[in-house]
Amino acid sequence: MKHYILLSVTVPGYDENEKLAQWQSLQQRLAGRAKTTKDIEVLAENTWLIPRAQGMPFLAECVALASRHGIEHRIWFLDGELEKIAAA
Q: What is the pLDDT of residues 11-26, one digit of tens each?
A: 887 777 777 888 888 8
Q: Which domains does the chain have, with CATH numbers?
A: 3-87 (3.30.70.240)
Can you say whether residue 62 is alpha, beta or left, with left for phi > 0 and alpha for psi between -120 and 50 degrees? alpha
How high is the pLDDT of residue 87? Answer: 46
The amino acid occupying position 42 is V
Residue 9 has pLDDT above 80, yes or no: yes
The amino acid occupying position 2 is K
User: Going along the chain, which residue ranges are E strands?
Assistant: 3-9, 41-44, 47-51, 73-79
- Higher pLDDT, residue 48 or 1: 48
How high is the pLDDT of residue 7? Answer: 92
How high is the pLDDT of residue 84? Answer: 53
The amino acid occupying position 73 is H
Q: Which residues of 60-73 are buried (b: 16+ CB within 10 A; e: fewer)?
A: eebeebbeeeebee
How high is the pLDDT of residue 81? Answer: 62
DSSP code, position 16: -
Tens digit of each residue's pLDDT (9 = 90 or more) over 14-71: 777 777 888 888 888 888 888 887 888 888 888 999 998 888 999 999 899 889 888 8
